[in-house]
Structure 1
């Protein structure tokens, strides 16, 4: 069984994408996983969201900033979701 890294994410829209932010977060929640990362929405309030993420421990960057950059890049490339993320690795 693969060990999972759990992390918590504060998401906000990038400038100019505020009008689609809520729909993007709902789409992400419905999708469930992006590139092997499982997302669940803990709270969604206008232009901010709290998410929980899980991914295989061996693939998870140990630095929160590196993980945030990786996740932002994957969300843009795979889902067309433009968000700024602040990550806490738990």
Structure 2
């Protein structure tokens, strides 16, 4: 990622929460929070409310530690879903 670039999640259908490098401001861009009940193959799209096309804040705050939840909620979601 280039300096000054901003990470944006499209629809999240191709990004695996626990396997892919997608979380900004982590050394390796990977989630460090322990998996709290989601399937290992869960996708970032599972964290997006299908009706509002916004992050499901309650779900994100439940699954991830406070630091990572704040990082995730700061990632803009594409409005072209």
TM (norm. structure 1) is 0.32
Q: Determine which structure has the larger strand proportion and give its number.
A: 1
TM (norm. structure 2) is 0.34
Bigger RCO of structures 1 and 2 (CA < 8 A, at least 6 apart): 1
